[in-house]
Structure 1
């Protein structure tokens, strides 16, 4: 006789659901795609980099998950409907993207994260009556290949500053972001909408 999983575990199960996790293929985005697949979701990956997609698909399949790949440049808004239609049904759209900028790293990061606040709360209010929840994940300093693209001295300085800003005394890792994404994707967050989840080690943010 099969024993059903405890409710505390089954509420995190994404079996039978479809997730769309666009670019980037590496670091936080890839970690999110893999964790959603491990939770049971069929994960559709859209990226303009076919090689990156293949690498993500291999990781997902190695973890026992299911991946569907689509070579699409999601920075071209005219292609977004195509990306959504490629999924058939869509239960968990996860907009995961990173940016680089030639200006000061901390200021760029804060501006980018602050920009998600209103675009999260407004659709949450509009779509709530239809049973659609809208939440966002705004991480703190996460160690990724993208952050390593900066000048080495600037990178070391920024990471030291961010580490001092958190009581945990460390920077974040891509899996920290992935687990934060899994929460709003699951039934555990059924009464949570319009919220900004901040896996940032309790570092202070200006927004």
Structure 2
């Protein structure tokens, strides 16, 4: 399972890089324009568009993984640790673009639903809204959804998480140990162990 954990960590790092690459220039430009407006006589307005920059950056980061995977068959993280998303019914076949996007959509929709519930619960409990609290109310549900997929995969011999079951996919290892080639028994000569739950 450690390969899935490493894969997800690397993919999250890439998503963070994409987010910063898209949001940072917007924030800098907006800040410069806002500063010019503030220096105008009689104008005391602050900068605007910060939230918009975060939204655009977040959208770009969220779209990065399915676009990358649908064009290259594997995410950056999965390529690094030699695992690949395959068809659940026949692991020798690559997962179709529809299954790849479906698996990602299932995870994203579940994360969004859990985030919505956590925010609603926080508001109902009368919790004050601070930036760090909002980050926690977003990060914790997403982490729990990913852990639920990881744990559900541990309970099955084929290592398919609940999101794999819904999307009809399976993660397989494509690593071929050169020292002991007789162990290669799965697709592409790799061992079909699905070690690690995608999300």
Common fold: TM-score over 0.5: no
TM-score normalised per structure 2: 0.28
* Greater radius of gyration (CA): 2
Structure (1/2) with the larger strand percentage = 1
TM-score normalised per structure 1: 0.27
